[in-house]
Every structure is written in structure tokens, then in C-alpha cells.
Structure 1
Amino acid sequence: MHFETLAIHDAQAPDPHTGSVTVPVYQTSTFARSGLEYDGGFVYSRIGNPTRQALEATLALLDNGRYGLAFASGAAATMAALHVLKPGDHVVSGIDIYGGTYRIFKELLAPMGITTSYAGGSTTESYVEAVRPETKLIWVESPSNPLMRIADIRALAAFSKERGIILAVDSTFASPYFLRPLDLGADMVIHSTTKYLGGHSDIIGGAVIMNDDALHQSVKTYQAAAGAVPAPWDCWLVMRGLKTLKVRMKEHEANAMHLARFLESHPAVAKVLYPGLSSHPQHILAKSQMSGFGGMLTIEMKGGMEAVRKLISGVKLFLLADSLGGVESLIASPARMTLWALSPEERMKRGCSEGLVRISVGLEHPDDLQADLEQAIEGCG
């Protein structure tokens, strides 16, 4: 069955009691039991809720996985995926990752005795070189935040399987419409459902998708015990977003490509990082494992932070905000916003200069977005 059909129908059948064509919001904390013996049904909404169950089943289908688990935020989903580790274990992470994930590695895992090393680049060899005998997990973002680097998921999966290492891929930027890491051999896929899956900047959520029974049981046990689960209404909102994911992602991509081409030719812009451009150093790799290139792009202004400030203060349609993936276009300074937790030295080590601007391209008309950027950049000269 095709992607958009799965998103609308397969795990979201009409309610058998009322015929409602949308899954009801089961706004309840607890459920009446038929007796003292557990009958396998719902008992308490932290453990399981019918609305959340429908969302989790849909998430699994869209990523072509057997199991989907929903969480209260992308960070909660990340922590749940990493909970499969134990003290003494080692993680190899991509060097270009979301600042919140870097904080988890440094401030939460390190005190637990779980160490992290960062690959020297985006090549498979750079990950392999960072592996130690105690390495138990490789963490990848593809495309990465904010430098839009692409990891060779097939190659990393083959290496990981040989070594008995878990490969976890944060696929938030791509969404399951453009990238299915499990099909390429990854063990776990992580999403911030706050972003493209919800799609309307009105919920906070996360998800972990997997095929392996043992991994599923470990992450599910953490979900139930730690309790960082989404409320039923938030689950319903994500399901609503999933139904239009295909049409939104196609428009996000078309608008992003339009702006990437315009910005690449602008004399005030030093560099445009978008995997859909042939100038992207990993464009061919992106084409080989993605069905599209998404709605995120990053540019580097020639004038550094001064030009960034002028650009951000000059735009009228683009909103200065930390998130991404909504219908409205957003703009951000990675150095001062999304990667604020890193020292200037750490940011430069990762290739994040003061001149970077991250753009989440929304669903406005591309000509309006181009005109807004054009008039704002004029003030940067």
C-alpha cells in the first residue's frame, strides 16, 4: 500500500462503537478493569492509551517498522533510545548533531559512565575510526543539523551489524516520506514529531521506530517506567499531521529547492548547504538513499554575524524561532540559538561558523519567500 494511504487509513480505522472516521481522543487517566486478573487490555494511560496506540501503529507503518513508540518530546525519544546502553558503554556520534542531543551525551550519559566520541567527518570511515571495543551504539543524523551532512546509512549499517553495534538514526529533517533508515539497515529511527510529522507548530512529541523484539522491549519498558509519554490530544494532533505529510513534504521540498537555487547565486551568500543541489558534496549519496531532499537548508553569509543579524532583523515573512518543520517559514542562527550549549571552540570544531543561518522553508508561495529574503539581504551589504 502506498505511503499516503497508510498515513490515512491502515492503523486508523473508524471507531467500532460510533463510526467516527477519526480515532477518538481517549482523554482518560485510567480504565475500568473487568476483574483482578489482567486481561491484556488498557489499565493506565502512562502504560498505554488507545489514541497513543493508534499513533504508534501509524508511525511504525510509515517508517516500515514493526514497532513504534511515542514520547512527550524528541529529547524524550532520544533518551529512551539511548537507554539501551549501560555504564561502561561507548557511543560514536556524528559530529554535526542537534545541540539538545549533544547535551544529553554530555550532561546525562557521561555522569552515568557512558562515554561519547565524535566522528571526525561525515564519511563512513570517520565513524569507523572512532569505534572502540566498548562501542555499543552509533548515533547518526541524516541530514544533519545544521550543516545538512548526509551519512551513508547502508554502509554504516553493514559495519554495525558485523560488530554487533546498534545503529540509531535521527531522521527528523527527512521525515519517513523522504527517508526510511530501517530499510537501509538501521536498527532504530528517532523523530521529533514536533517537526514535520506534526507539521503545524502546535505540539511537542517524539518517536522511536524499530524492528528488533529485544530493542522494542527495552525501549517500551523505559517508556512505561519513565513516563515521558504524550497526552492523548497531542497524539491525535500528530495523527492529523501525518495524514497530510506527503503533500506537505513535497511542497516543503519544492520551496526549499527554489530558495536554494536563488541563494546559491546571490553575491552576499558564501555557501548554500542543501542536499538537493548538485553542489552539495554528498548530493549523489543523498539521491541514492532518499526519495527527496526535504525543506531544510543552511546558508553561510559572507559578512559573518553582522550580516546574520541584519538578515534576521530584515525579514518579514520568516519568523525567528528555534523549531522547524511547520507550515510557516522559520529562520535561526545556529551559533546563537540551536547550538548555544556548545562553546565557540566546539562549534567551530563542528564547522558551525558565526555566519550560518538555518532556514526551515514553509508552505508560503516561493516567490513571496524569495522576495522577502532578497529585500532583507540587500541590507547586509
Structure 2
Amino acid sequence: MHDSLDLSPDSLVVAGGRPERGRDASVNPPVVLSSTFLGTGPLGPGDRGYGRYANPSWEPFEEVLGQLEHAGEPALLFSSGLAAVSAALSLVPLGGTVVMPGHSYAGTVQMASELAEKGLFSLQLVDVTDTREVLAALHRESGPIDLLWLESPTNPMLGVAELPALLDAARSAGILTVVDNTFCTPLVQRPLLLGADLVLHSVTKYLAGHSDVVLGALVTSDAELRARLLHHRALHGAIAGPWEAWLALRGVRTLALRIERSQASAQLLAERLARHPAVERVRFPGLPSDPGHRRAKEQLDGFGSILCLQLAAAGGRSGAQNADSLVEALRLWVPATSLGGVESLIERRRRHLAEPESVPENLVRLSVGIESVEDLWEDLRQALDALPAAESSAG
């Protein structure tokens, strides 16, 4: 493995995690299909031993992601994003307290809520866009906070947190911090450089990028913290399959191109959607009218490829009914959950029972892919034009 930290991210996604060069050497790392590895005597650091402890097929991806996040340590690959969430929450001591955005990914909030109901820790949900509210939660008089969970932009409301201020306050108070960086990827935001202790990714999304694997990852610069998480992964068994790891690495190779294309398309679509009479509101940090625009412009290297729109009530139909009609009328956009793939996906988020009631019923989340932006817009336009126009709209 060579030191690729001096490369730009656009080059690193291509060059990182390659085998050592030599005559007739493989250009790509191989897939290693083995449940166990040869060895005698006591297992020491670096020994693979058994397939639950390590696999050569994980390591190239872990190397690249660690370098992209400027960790100084390889990432840790998990069997799913929620497996990574579970491992991160395992760091909270019994009876501790977690502060988390109420609009975090629904699976994260659901898991934390269930663990809190079992008495493993206390959970306080906050509006992560309100810096004062979060800071007040971190300095409450009733007891110390053990973990600050952050997600920015949030899923699906696209709220932007003031990450530098929140991470600085948590570090000063000795509070462990986790940032879910799934929406941004390390090409747009690097939370470790802002002071985060741990970064989480649903690798399923942008990093793998082709809607064909389910994986998660954790990244940290703290070798001791990484060792604790590695022990948790080995003991609890939430490991990645070698084929999935290989596919994720293959997806990373085109990450920079996919992000560049999808971000540009998302910006254009958001601007056009904001002017359509059937649309009540567009949520996208790239719009100057968006509440998170200023923070996103200061903190991010782009505005991401996720946008949300809310459909207006019109023609005796609710906004939610019009949202469902929109999704059903599309031909190119794929009506499915998840995000970050090459194909553009769309769904009304409240169709998920776990989605909090604070998410509007008429909110539709769009994950912009890499298709022609004009084809994507034409598909949206024809579906929106078929809806009854609202008497007034706020774009």
C-alpha cells in the first residue's frame, strides 16, 4: 500500500487500495473467498486467523475510505449501515446519555429509541439546525452527556447543522461525537477534520453507488477507539461479505464523477422545481432561499444530490395524495427507497411507518442520479403538469 494522502480525492478514489506493483501483478485486488486462514500458535496483531476477524477483500476499501476521510487509520467495514450504527451506539456506557437529531435517519432514531426504552441509555432528541438548543442539551444540569450524534444534512429534511461549533463544544466538554456523513461523502464534507471522533457511512448509498450491495462503515483517527470497534465487529459478527466489499470498492472508483454529475443536476432540478405551481416547497441547501444555504456554502464542497419537494394541496386533493400521484406518474425516475445510486430514485417518505410525524405527509425525497438532467426534468415536468395547480405556491 502506498501513501495516497497527497492525492486529490478525485485521484484517490481511483488510485487507492490497489495491489503492490510488479510484473504481471493484478491491477485490481482479488476477491478472497475463505472462511479461515492458515496459522499455528497464538494469534497476534495482524493475524487474520478466522473469517470473522478479517478478510483481505475488506482491506482495500477500508484503506481508501480511511484516506478519503483523512483518518490516518483504515476504516472498518460492516454488514450494513445499521450494523455500523449499532457498533457506534455500543460505545455509550450503561446508563449514559445520547443527544441525537430528531430528524436523523429513521433507522438510527428507531434503534436508539428502542435501546433507550430498554434502559441502556437516555436519549434526548434535538433540532440539530438550532445550535443554541443543541448546546443547551450538551450542558444540561441533570448530568453529563456521553455521545453527541450528528447528521448534516439530515435525512430527509435536509437540515444543515453548524458542525464546527457543535463539534468544538462537544470536544471541550469531553463528549464523544459521531457524524453520519452518508449524504455528503468525504468528497463534500470531512467531519474528522472538523473535530469529530467518529464518522459513519451507509456504504450502500453513494460510496458503492449502484444499488447492489448493503454495507456500512465507521472511520476514526483514534487507534484505541478503532480497536474497540474492531473488537465489537469481530465479537458481534456484523461483517461484510468479500463480494460486497469488492463491489463497493469498484463503486468508489467512479465516486468523484458520479458526485460531480449528480450534484450539478440536483441544483438545476431544484431551481426548476421551485418555480412549478404544483410544488409548495423545495428543500435543497443549494437554493439561496433554503434555511441551510449559508451554512452549507461555508462548510461543504457542494450541496449534495438529495433534494425534497412538498406537493401543494389542490383540486380537492391533499398534498400527500398529489405526492403519491406524482411518484406513480413518473417513467424514468425509479419509485424506490434508498439513495446515492446511479439511477434517480424518488419516494414519499411518510410511506415508511418509522418516519417521524414531524416529516410532512406531502414530502417527496429525490435522489438524483447520473441520467441526462433534461430527461429527468421532462419526466418530472409531465408528471407535475398533470397535477391540479395550487391557487398559490411558495417556492
TM-score range relative to shorter protein: over 0.9
Residue 198 of structure 2 is aligned to residue 188 of structure 1 = yes
Check whether the contact 1:329–1:362 (CA below 8 A) recurs between aligned residues: yes
Whole-angstrom distance in 1 between the partners of 2:183 and 2:237: 26
RMSD: 1.5
- Secondary structure of the residue aligned to 2:186 is helix
Whole-angstrom distance in 1 between the partners of 2:26 and 2:117: 48
In the TM superposition, what are the counterparts of 1:271-350 in structure 2 within 5 Å?
Answer: 271-303=281-313, 304-337=319-352, 340-342=353-355, 346-348=356-358
Residue 385 of structure 2 is aligned to residue 378 of structure 1 = yes
Tell me which protein shows more helix as a share of its residues: 1
**How big is the shift at 1:102?**
1.2
* Percent pairwise identity: 37
Check whether the contact 2:70–2:192 (CA below 8 A) recurs between aligned residues: yes
Residue 225 of structure 2 is aligned to residue 215 of structure 1 = yes
Whole-angstrom distance in 2 between the partners of 1:17 and 1:189: 37
Check whether the contact 1:156–1:167 (CA below 8 A) recurs between aligned residues: no
Check whether the contact 2:19–2:25 (CA below 8 A) recurs between aligned residues: no
Structure 1 partner of 2:360: 353
Check whether the contact 1:315–1:376 (CA below 8 A) recurs between aligned residues: yes
Whole-angstrom distance in 2 between the partners of 1:277 and 1:250: 17
Residue 251 of structure 2 is aligned to residue 241 of structure 1 = yes
Check whether the contact 1:271–1:300 (CA below 8 A) recurs between aligned residues: yes
The one-character-per-residue Cα deviations of 1:32-85 (angstroms, maximum 9, x if unpaired) are 11x224354321121011111121111100111123100000000111111111
Whole-angstrom distance in 1 between the partners of 2:245 and 2:169: 35
Whole-angstrom distance in 2 between the partners of 1:16 and 1:91: 50
Residue 65 of structure 2 is aligned to residue 65 of structure 1 = no
Structure 2 segments unaligned to the other structure (5+ residues): 1-6, 314-318, 389-395
- Secondary structure of the residue aligned to 2:350 is coil
Whole-angstrom distance in 1 between the partners of 2:42 and 2:109: 44
Check whether the contact 1:12–1:58 (CA below 8 A) recurs between aligned residues: no
In the TM superposition, what are the counterparts of 1:141-220 in structure 2 within 5 Å?
Answer: 141-220=151-230
Structure 2 partner of 1:28: 34
The one-character-per-residue Cα deviations of 1:315-373 (angstroms, maximum 9, x if unpaired) are 11111111100011110111113xx214xxx412xxx1111000001111001010100
Counterpart residue identity of residue 94, structure 2: P
Structure 2 partner of 1:38: 43
Counterpart residue identity of residue 117, structure 2: A
Residue of structure 1 aligned with 2:274, choices 248, 264, 276 = 264
Check whether the contact 1:157–1:185 (CA below 8 A) recurs between aligned residues: yes
Counterpart residue identity of residue 328, structure 1: E
- Secondary structure of the residue aligned to 1:175 is coil
Check whether the contact 1:15–1:23 (CA below 8 A) recurs between aligned residues: no
**How big is the shift at 1:251?**
0.4
Check whether the contact 1:196–1:324 (CA below 8 A) recurs between aligned residues: yes
Counterpart residue identity of residue 306, structure 2: M
**How big is the shift at 1:5?**
2.1
Whole-angstrom distance in 2 between the partners of 1:292 and 1:239: 23
Normalising by structure 1, we get a TM-score of 0.94
Distance 1:11 1:124, change over 3 A: same
Distance 1:129 1:315, change over 3 A: same
Counterpart residue identity of residue 130, structure 1: A
Check whether the contact 2:103–2:156 (CA below 8 A) recurs between aligned residues: yes
Check whether the contact 1:194–1:205 (CA below 8 A) recurs between aligned residues: yes
In the TM superposition, what are the counterparts of 1:95-134 in structure 2 within 5 Å?
Answer: 95-131=102-138, 132=140, 133-134=143-144
Whole-angstrom distance in 2 between the partners of 1:230 and 1:112: 30
Whole-angstrom distance in 1 between the partners of 2:184 and 2:122: 28
Q: How many residues in Structure 1 have an aligned counterpart in Structure 2?
A: 372
Structure 2 partner of 1:10: 16
